[in-house]
């Protein structure tokens, strides 16, 4: 039975625990993971992620359902932080398990590319005491559009 677990949290992500939460399944031939971290740059001191109290969870569930069906996944774990994060902290983690490697690898790419522009999160960089909103890049939009176009 296919399953997707979604974690939307203000607490630090425990990557090892998230990977371990993929259910054991003898039909799984491959798993793939992606972790996004707060990257140091210039005078960056922190990254802040805001979310919508209802719509963010719903969007993550929709993306997980689409990925699970499209890539015929055995299991999918999606974890996303909100709140303020220091440099080096994980922001997002995705783990996909499937019978074959291509499906697991592509599912992880799909989820992160689509999530960046389709899930209601808003990102602010903190440089000293000054926050600065970050908007998705044209490359972010192009990557998501590529997947979504293929879905039609």
Partner 1 sequence: MKVTLEYFGQIGDRMSDSPDMVTLGEKPSTLAALINQLEDKLEGGEALRDPHLRIAINDQLCGKQDALALTDGDRIAFLSPFSGG
Residues lying near partner 1 in the complex (CB under 8 A) are found at: 36, 49-50, 52, 54-55, 58, 80, 91-92, 112, 115-123, 133-136, 140
Q: Quick one: residue 72, left, alpha or beta (phi over 0 = left, psi -120 to 50 = alpha)?
A: left
Q: How far is the CB of 24 from partner 1 (least distance, A)?
A: 28
Q: Contact, 93 vs 18, CB < 8 A?
A: yes
Q: How far is the CB of 80 from partner 1 (least distance, A)?
A: 7
- Shorter beta-carbon distance to partner 1: residue 8 or 28: 8
Question: What are the E-state strand segments in the chain?
Answer: 3-9, 30-37, 44-51, 75-81, 83-85, 90-98, 121-127, 130-134
Q: How far is the CB of 58 from partner 1 (least distance, A)?
A: 8
Q: How far is the CB of 104 from partner 1 (least distance, A)?
A: 19
Q: Contact, 77 vs 95, CB < 8 A?
A: yes
- Shorter beta-carbon distance to partner 1: residue 29 or 36: 36
- Shorter beta-carbon distance to partner 1: residue 39 or 100: 39
- Shorter beta-carbon distance to partner 1: residue 100 or 133: 133
Residue 11 DSSP label: S
Q: What is the three-class DSSP state of 81?
A: strand
């Amino acid at each position: 039975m296919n399953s997707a677990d979604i974690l939307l949290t203000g607490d630090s992500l425990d990557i090892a625990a998230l990977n371990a939460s993929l259910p054991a399944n003898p039909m799984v031939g491959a798993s793939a993971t992606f972790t996004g971290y707060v990257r140091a740059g210039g005078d960056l001191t922190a990254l802040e992620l805001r979310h919508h109290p209802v719509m963010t969870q719903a969007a993550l569930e929709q993306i997980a359902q689409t990925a699970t069906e499209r890539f015929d996944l055995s299991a999918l774990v999606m974890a996303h932080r909100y709140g303020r994060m220091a440099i080096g902290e994980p922001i997002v983690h995705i783990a996909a398990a499937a019978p074959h490697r291509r499906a697991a690898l592509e599912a992880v790419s799909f989820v992160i590319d689509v999530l960046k522009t389709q899930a209601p999160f808003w990102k602010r960089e903190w440089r000293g005491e000054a926050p600065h909103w970050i908007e998705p890049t044209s490359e972010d939009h192009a990557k998501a559009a590529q997947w979504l176009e293929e879905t039609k």
